[in-house]
Structure 1
């Protein structure tokens, strides 16, 4: 793995990046209404922010990808636009997604990004994927923020993998709870594999 500093900007799925522990302790509905920076998300109200922010790890990954080429788009603005393509299904305050295939259509149409849904991906395949594509949005357990723990399941959360080799995987985690688990987190391939759900989206800018 290239050990030089990674130049991909980091963005949390929360506007205040250190909100993760509060979200885990109090629940997103309660904790995120207290986020003083919520307006930066593009939400119209704290309530809208609280509902969306708990569900937009994928949009945070997209925001980081776009920021690499100098575009900064608020996460909930991205989520609304993605919803129009079917990337999220919103029903009476509940949100289902990210749905991968519509996301691929969305990023191509709106931003000219080349993206490909990938399933049955072995952890050992990821270095080769990154040799062909700039990024890999990987489905992992959200408990990847605690690599010393065994995850209760795999999948349900998305991280942006920016570099991978036999030596280690480097990624940005939109819901990391410390600086070390947010930007440029690094795990060995074996540790990453414990959390990885063997699917994701390869993206090239």
Structure 2
């Protein structure tokens, strides 16, 4: 497909407060509770922050979109609590179901007046038109997309924000991306995207 190059200047947010520590959090060499910036998350304790940080990819994507469209950006953990009340996350003990797209989209529309549409059948071919229209897309991908040459065991389960497109591929802000490699505006080729992308997500617009 012929794709014009379009990139929206979307600010980047990691799902951890210390984005430079992401490789250590992922490898387990550092615990999220030891994040020196945990209080910025608005959590009541390091333990509350450590529970939610690995699960906040969707929250990070929303915070990026809010900043892009010049809305006040809530701290991440209060935003998680808000989305739990809205039914977008369902916590049962130490397990969490979510992000659940429809209640998430309904809440985003009601709370901020943004366009938010659950897209259970979203194709990569639709992304150029979405981006060209000024919108953004949260995509469900496998988390190994942070190293695009990886061969993922499945598709979906992690949310990234599509902020641009080009002939080469889609540009992603990845809340659990690796510094200087796959965090900000990282290009994933159209061919490689198919290995990770589950064909669903949420479309956001102003």
CA–CA distance in structure 2, aligned partners of residues 196 and 52 of structure 1: 23
1:55-204 aligned at under 5 Å gives the runs: 55-70=55-70, 71-132=72-133, 134-204=135-205
Counterpart of 2:129 in 1: which secondary structure?
Answer: helix
CA–CA distance in structure 1, aligned partners of residues 188 and 37 of structure 2: 30
Q: Provide Cα deviations, 1:182-204, integer angstroms capped at 9, x if missing partner.
A: 01111111111211000000010
CA–CA distance in structure 2, aligned partners of residues 117 and 157 of structure 1: 15
- Report which stretch shifted further, 192-201 or 120-129: 120-129
CA–CA distance in structure 2, aligned partners of residues 174 and 106 of structure 1: 21
Are 1:45 and 2:45 counterparts?
yes
In the alignment, structure 1 segments of 5+ residues that lack a partner are none
Q: TM-score, normalised by structure 1?
A: 0.92
Q: Which has the higher helix share?
A: 1
Are 1:19 and 2:11 counterparts?
no
In the alignment, structure 2 segments of 5+ residues that lack a partner are none
CA–CA distance in structure 2, aligned partners of residues 180 and 98 of structure 1: 25
CA–CA distance in structure 1, aligned partners of residues 34 and 109 of structure 2: 35
Counterpart of 2:118 in 1: which secondary structure?
Answer: strand
CA–CA distance in structure 2, aligned partners of residues 187 and 92 of structure 1: 36
CA–CA distance in structure 2, aligned partners of residues 93 and 194 of structure 1: 30
Distance 1:201-1:25 versus aligned 2 partners, 3 A rule? same
Q: TM-score, normalised by structure 2?
A: 0.92
Q: CA deviation at 1:42?
A: 1.1
CA–CA distance in structure 2, aligned partners of residues 43 and 166 of structure 1: 41
Q: Provide Cα deviations, 1:108-163, integer angstroms capped at 9, x if missing partner.
A: 11111111111232222221233345100000010001111111111010000011
Q: Provide Cα deviations, 1:36-83, integer angstroms capped at 9, x if missing partner.
A: 000111101000001111111000000000011332221112111111
CA–CA distance in structure 2, aligned partners of residues 66 and 59 of structure 1: 10
Q: Is the CA contact (8 Å cut-off) linking 2:5 and 2:167 kept in structure 1?
A: no
